[in-house]
């Protein structure tokens, strides 16, 4: 009887482990596509929040896959295709409907440029071979696509944050295309950026870290666009810091060639 019951398994344990992370990836894709619908309807604030949820799904799928040992080549490819939609096509169209459509051909050109750079960024990730763990795991090669997808939305986030009164008069017709070009370059660049994947926290500092996380997400719920705008500015400021930090570590380890010690390129 026990042998007969085993024959009637609908899904094996291994396949079950593959389904969950892939399902989370597809949920993220659906959220990213829905953000475009919100943008078409003129609900740009909700469209931004949808992109945030898509980035949360993107952060969870890979970690859950590694946790339950459900990684697969299909999951890797699906994740990259989902990122093109959620952090390439969706943010570009949101900004196009908000501002870039009024720039006519130039607006569409910068949208195309950004999406192509996201695709190139992800293609570079897909062809990279897996390497042994090292200190380089703490850095990405260029800005990851989820971060790029949020950075290009920064002018829109800034317009909702109410922080404009502390700045000079902003010309969004100029600022938006500039942001698109800068972020596009950062995506396909080889500039080292922090990955924040392998941060070691002393046990005595764990409670303070948890308190900080709760405080951040609490503030994000109450002051959503203000916190997002400040977070984007902090991330931009961290890019040159991560570059010099990488160079310092590389010099200390007497590494002479990036070909021998390339950066990790994980999204």
Q: Give 112-125 pLDDT, tens digit per residue.
A: 999 999 999 888 87
Instruction: Evaluate if pTM is beyond 0.85.
Output: no
Collapsed DSSP state (helix, strand, coil) of residue 69: coil
Question: What mean pLDDT is reported for the chain?
Answer: 82
Please check the confidence at residue 129 and state whether its pLDDT lies above 80: no
Please check the confidence at residue 182 and state whether its pLDDT lies above 50: yes
Would 8 be classed as within a structural domain? Answer: no
Helices (H), the chain: 2-7, 13-40, 44-67, 73-84, 90-98, 105-127, 145-151, 154-161, 172-188, 206-222, 224-252
Would 32 be classed as within a structural domain? Answer: yes
Would 201 be classed as within a structural domain? Answer: yes
- What is the reported pLDDT for 215? 92
Do residues 198 and 137 lie in contact, with contact meaning Cβ atoms separated by under 8 Å? yes
Domain range spanning residue 151? 13-252
- What is the reported pLDDT for 133? 60
The CATH number of residue 136's host domain is 1.20.120.1760
The partner residues of 139 in beta bridges, in order of sequence, read 194
Collapsed DSSP state (helix, strand, coil) of residue 141: strand
**pLDDT tens digits, 41-71:** 999 999 999 999 999 998 888 788 778 776 7
Give the chain's domain count: 1
């Amino acid at each position: 009887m026990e042998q007969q019951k085993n024959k009637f398994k609908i899904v094996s344990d291994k396949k079950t482990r593959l389904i969950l992370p892939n399902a989370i990836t597809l949920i993220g894709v659906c959220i990213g596509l829905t953000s475009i619908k919100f943008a078409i309807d003129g609900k740009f604030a909700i469209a931004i929040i949808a992109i945030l949820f898509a980035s949360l799904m993107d952060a969870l799928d890979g970690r859950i896959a590694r946790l339950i040992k459900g990684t697969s080549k299909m999951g890797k490819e699906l994740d990259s295709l989902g990122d093109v939609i959620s952090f390439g096509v969706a943010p570009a169209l949101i900004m196009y409907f908000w501002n870039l459509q009024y720039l006519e051909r130039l607006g569409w050109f910068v949208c195309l440029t950004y999406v192509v750079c996201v695709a190139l960024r992800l293609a570079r990730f897909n062809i990279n071979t897996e390497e042994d763990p090292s200190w380089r795991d703490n850095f990405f090669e260029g800005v990851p696509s989820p971060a790029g997808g949020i950075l290009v939305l920064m002018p829109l986030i800034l317009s909702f944050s109410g922080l404009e009164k502390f700045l000079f008069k902003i010309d969004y017709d100029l600022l938006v295309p500039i942001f698109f070009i800068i972020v596009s370059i950062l995506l396909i660049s080889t500039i080292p950026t922090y990955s924040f994947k392998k941060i070691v926290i002393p046990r005595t500092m764990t409670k303070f870290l948890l308190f900080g996380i709760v405080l951040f997400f609490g503030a994000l719920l109450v002051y959503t666009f203000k916190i997002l705008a400040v977070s984007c500015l902090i991330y931009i400021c961290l890019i040159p810091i991560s570059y010099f930090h990488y160079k310092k570590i590389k010099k200390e380890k007497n590494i002479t060639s990036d070909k021998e010690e390339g950066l990790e390129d994980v999204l």
